[in-house]
Structure 1
């Protein structure tokens, strides 16, 4: 590809626009927020507390995979990229400090942490790369249409739901997983298309393409990329499944069509030579698909089995509060509630306004009865999914002239249709084509978009195979949104085709339809740009992030805690008390929440209420010690009790009693720097008073 062709490539421009959409000084230099403390700052692999090789023995949070406390999120590729970023940030920080010392100036870093700019820049560039790959992949689903490439690339690159992935350092796994997924697809699709073209040019020979090219492009590169994708984020395990679905839908369309190809080998011996050659070619294609699917399935099972073994003897310790829908005991409630979350994801794809980093606990009401109005939306989703799935079994009801079993013909058909339409338009004899809106090629494109690129990458987050540790999260539809973008591009292309094929007697309607589709797309992209910028800036600071989250989802206990905590750090105690009040009781959520709420009450001079809650919290701690379990370890409970004692000391007027409580706080958890600092400061004050 020449340099001029590179500049003309749609993928270059969509990638550039996606990068520019997130290139904001406030966002690039923002703080470590949300889970960044656990994945970067406190991660012993990333911060250098242990050797980098430990990334292959610890989970994404730096905990040993074999322990019961491990999250079982084994993502060494992601961890090592964060490690490289951390080293680069440290080098930059040291260089900056050396320059400041030389100039006798002072500067403050983010709580002693390395600057975040390199982390954010890498994430933004990776998002641009994903957008470019998405644009490059589009022609294999929507062929011969540069406009569709641009539409898909722009919709994907500018979609606000991606802000949680791009702007949040911790979500880099989604970016890396998507890159390896798309590279695997491009390798597979390019090789398959070349093989299919070779078969059509040389029907009786399947060896025109060199065997090593097929081995490399169909089996080796996709398998390597699938492995790297899985070790970047667990959703990468479905990479080869998506390839099989695309292969099946692109070149066979439905199960009935595939079976016909497999069993018709000896059925047409008396037909013409041309027909026999076509049937032989179809039979070869079908048998090769079965062989490819078998090999790719074995490859997937091998890698997934290895990944499962790495979990050790324990499983992830997820609790009901993280995912009430997935853990619901009633089957009807679980089925409807989980599928309602799917409906919410579709809503976010279409109208990305209700975006929030946490949807745990009571954030989303469960559907406990079919009388719930939301059940109708779930039933509608099931109906559409069943309809689409059924067409993959028996195909659509089309005339023989509009259907084709050869994907090569389908690939070339759009260009031929466009050329024919232009000739008819010149003669001013345009008529309505019976299949311009819905035909076999369109059905295949829709099914590919839904099953290969929307559902398959989402499968491991769907609560179908396993119950996951989250109710809903924007980040899990990062790659599946590719399928939604393909569907919208298909719809807009149909509007364009309709404007070209309608009768000339309704010329005004044609023009209205044409410009309405363009106006809708431009308006949508404009709204996406504004919302993406808003979400990008929100992720730059904890207070701004949780303030926006609380405005969208004020029912989340996790959001209440974080927003209230950030307000207390800004000494906005009255606002913090209102936010934290529903979760201040230790039996509602956690004694840790009671500590923050008690400190807010202390600053509002309401110690009587604080002491009551603290006494209840100490009782809850005792109960949790008896209960035991991975979430009630001694180290965790000791830290919580130590913090509660610090809060109690603040509300104790008697100096002797305050000193005793602080001593007890340090004694319970000698590693609690917060308690040690307050105890040391208190002792210094006592010494000064004695001197007086």
Structure 2
């Protein structure tokens, strides 16, 4: 048995290793890097906010309440020396997946035993082991394991499994039955605090109890007449069912209260099928999405990090060929039902099939858009736990086809199964590489979802980050073509055109974004910048103040408003805006730089000197700040201090050093009467820009 655990450990880690050296990608940025609850000193904040750090009772919240997952990130943060190190987070995810696989192997053995198929004969196929090896390497798990956000699904699955194990013990252990039952319910609540679908374990436990109870009756050859069936469900069994039902209602109602008694509000672009007004389109498209989810489990070739928007076009006609696939999946379901009612099939096999299908279906129900719409079309990490049922079904089918170890067919079957494990492992390894960086991830999405506007939007962002402006412009335009009301893409494209000094086009796009979503502070701020560049100062001021009305604590907007006031010669208002900026964001380098330079230029040198220590405490290695401070100390003849800051600024600027940096240091040496050093600095400035006037002029004065 030990070798089986070693095989599971190896298979559950090897295919995912290639992503460990990667970055935080996609949703990791919002859930971890930008989430104040991960780095907050208060451990309780996570219980008041959603998964993304927003107030859970706000109508802007997505209502994803996963405080225990956030606390696991916080523990990573603390153990990493209060640093957000992707490697540490990703290793934790991988270890959690390994633990989940080991626990699932235990659960499979429990299910097989209770179903009546548990065999101790060494020559018999170990269905549980086969299912676990398949689960360990399945490519559908890449998003959950390699994306740090997927930890919610893994931890919820672990808690689900532990809850089920304790419920099984409550069936067997007469003395401590209610203690195990209570523990199972508590673990179900914990699973729900890792991720919402954890609550489904209680539903699975009910199905399991009924199937197991029925199984015991069949094993004892009791005729299942109505009276016998009623007697078989003892008072204790009935009490358990009532307790489970009440516990489910209590947990769900508590969740509803935590959400502020409000459902999450999603946008049609996030899940078009759920918002379809035509009933035929809605029902048929959702059924086709179920088929796609099952297809990804069977053959996970087409994997994508985001399936929203136009990735899965709506089915609007009865002549759409995709309806055939819906019939196919229902035919598959009918054949399963037929096999279950067939008296020639063994009762143990029927029970096991029911439990496997239930493990596939029940954890998936919260994502099925049946009771309420969800904020996605397909999310691969949602299939982490349901895939446990699928893998068990595959292993059951294999054991039926190749049940006799003495035949050649058995050897062929084993070879085929090993080949499947190898194929899945290689596909997982390949897909894990995609999850190393956002660039790899976003580019991979183009091949799978070319009609998804969000995929093109994200590709445009990484292209812009790589300074490939032509590519970024093309992808933003394609995103807008696919979804004309994509206000984020309109804003980003306008911002990109602003940097290209195409102000008229930028203004048009930003105003269009605001027309679609009026309370869009980023677009208002960018519009303010564009209008300021066009010297339309009053309109620019209005745009900035509108942005601040929609987002009161908006440091970047306050900083740009300060720049506008400087252009308008309102120096006092400019300084007030920059002070407000650094109060909200003490690590805003340009606000500190402008504020200190303004104080110096307006003759308030003493005030500047008083602020400098605070600025340096927040930004000890910011070159622009060092340069401004050096100039101030140079003016008050603190030559030695000024020299230190000039040199530090030049070192920090590295390949971005400008002629003025050397020229100003040359002026310092000139006034300090260190003429050789002054000459050297002037010449360095001229090496960068031979036409730099102040350096040429001062060098000429030095030689007189």
TM-score bracket, shorter-length normalisation? 0.7 to 0.9
CA offset digits 1:303-330 (Å, max 9, x no partner):
1111111111432111211111122222
CA offset digits 1:196-245 (Å, max 9, x no partner):
xxxxxxxxxxxxx5422x1222x112101100001110101111111111
* Superposition pairs of residues 74-153 of structure 1, within 5 angstroms: 74-91=65-82, 93=83, 114-142=84-112, 143-144=118-119, 147-153=126-132
* Distance of 1:668 and 1:18 partners within structure 2: 52
Distance 1:561 1:647, change over 3 A: farther
Identify which range, 323-332 or 584-593, moves more after superposition: 584-593
Q: Which has the higher contact order (CA 8 A, sep 6+)?
A: 1
Q: Does 1:178 pair with 2:157?
A: yes
Distance 1:315 1:210, change over 3 A: closer
* Distance of 1:334 and 1:596 partners within structure 2: 32
Contact between 2:490 and 2:512, CA under 8 Å: does it hold in 1? Answer: no
* Distance of 1:445 and 1:295 partners within structure 2: 25
Of residues 356, 378, 396 in structure 1, which corresponds to 2:341? 396
* Matched position secondary structure for 1:316: coil
Q: CA RMSD in A?
A: 3.4
Contact between 2:363 and 2:386, CA under 8 Å: does it hold in 1? Answer: yes
2:199 aligns to what? 237
Contact between 1:666 and 1:676, CA under 8 Å: does it hold in 2? Answer: no
* Matched position secondary structure for 1:134: helix
* Distance of 2:512 and 2:297 partners within structure 1: 45
* Distance of 2:126 and 2:279 partners within structure 1: 45
Contact between 1:662 and 1:675, CA under 8 Å: does it hold in 2? Answer: no
2:505 aligns to what? 612
* CA drift at 1:254: 12
Of residues 465, 474, 477 in structure 1, which corresponds to 2:380? 474
* Matched position secondary structure for 2:57: coil
Contact between 2:479 and 2:489, CA under 8 Å: does it hold in 1? Answer: yes
Q: Which has the larger radius of gyration?
A: 2
2:208 aligns to what? 246
Distance 1:180 1:660, change over 3 A: same
Of residues 274, 279, 291 in structure 2, which corresponds to 1:343? 291
Contact between 1:598 and 1:647, CA under 8 Å: does it hold in 2? Answer: no
Distance 1:354 1:259, change over 3 A: farther
Q: Does 1:215 pair with 2:178?
A: yes
* CA drift at 1:601: 4.6
Distance 1:360 1:690, change over 3 A: farther
Q: Does 1:227 pair with 2:110?
A: no
Contact between 1:89 and 1:116, CA under 8 Å: does it hold in 2? Answer: no
Q: Does 1:369 pair with 2:348?
A: no
* Distance of 1:552 and 1:586 partners within structure 2: 15
Distance 1:288 1:336, change over 3 A: farther
Q: Does 1:624 pair with 2:603?
A: no
Of residues 401, 412, 431 in structure 2, which corresponds to 1:516? 412
* Distance of 2:420 and 2:14 partners within structure 1: 18
Aligned length: 560
2:679 aligns to what? none
* Distance of 2:484 and 2:225 partners within structure 1: 61
* CA drift at 1:638: 2.0
Of residues 342, 345, 353 in structure 2, which corresponds to 1:446? 353
* Distance of 2:558 and 2:37 partners within structure 1: 27
Of residues 4, 25, 33 in structure 2, which corresponds to 1:41? 33
Contact between 2:142 and 2:428, CA under 8 Å: does it hold in 1? Answer: yes
* Matched position secondary structure for 2:80: helix
Contact between 2:491 and 2:513, CA under 8 Å: does it hold in 1? Answer: no
* CA drift at 1:351: 0.9
1:458 aligns to what? 364
Of residues 395, 399, 414 in structure 2, which corresponds to 1:493? 399
